[in-house]
Amino acid sequence: PLYDAEDPVTYRAAVFAADGRGIYYLSDDEDGALRLRHRGIEYADNRTITDDVGSDVLLFDLVPDGSLMAFVTGEEGSSALRLLDMKSGDHSSVEAPEGTIRQVRFSPDGRSLGLVVERADSGTGVFALDVESGEIVPWIDRIEPADDPHSHADHAHHAHGD
């Protein structure tokens, strides 16, 4: 079982592997740091995917075909974005907008990664990363807090001067 009452562990954010034979999830069960892990369903094998990352993994997303994963780590009050090649196991840093990344989500075709980034100096922004080129395009440059949280559309300033 994943849970042991004598050794409490934090679990967060689980998604099925593309082949349906395993689950990727976040857990602090080895050293107290949140790590990205994989658990096989048939054989109940557990392995840590991000054991070489020195800080907590806060969130992640997997492309629909299972070939690539994006994950975010918390580093010195900011966020770092990384892409993980699921076949080779290699991961690389991606230059993301400065701030705290609150959400990552791949497009259905896996070619773009949407990012929601909270920035202290300019509010929250929504960005798209072109996975192949590494180019980041702002979709909504700033969302200001509103009196009514359901009226964000009235307070969005689009990146292209709309």
Residue 158's pLDDT is 36
Q: Tokens for 47, please give them.
A: 């392995």
Residues 6+ apart with CB under 8 A from 66: 17, 18, 19, 86
Cβ-contact 58, 41 below 8 angstroms: no
Strand ordering across the sheet containing 100-106? 100-106, 112-119, 123-130, 136-143, 156-158
The predicted pLDDT at position 4 comes to 63
Distance of alpha carbon 116 from alpha carbon 18, whole angstroms: 24
The per-residue pLDDT for 155 is 37
Query: Distance between terminal CA atoms of the chain?
Result: 52
Would you state the pLDDT for residue 5?
Answer: 67
pLDDT at 149: 43
Written as tens digits, the pLDDT of the chain (162 aa) is 555 667 777 888 889 999 999 999 998 876 778 889 999 988 777 888 888 887 899 999 999 999 999 999 987 778 999 999 999 989 999 998 888 999 999 999 999 999 999 888 778 889 999 999 999 988 876 665 553 344 444 433 333 333
Q: What is the pLDDT of residue 157?
A: 37
Position 144 scores a pLDDT of 57
User: Under 8 Å CB-to-CB from 158, ≥6 apart: which residues?
Assistant: 139, 140, 141
d(C-alpha 155, C-alpha 137), whole Å: 20
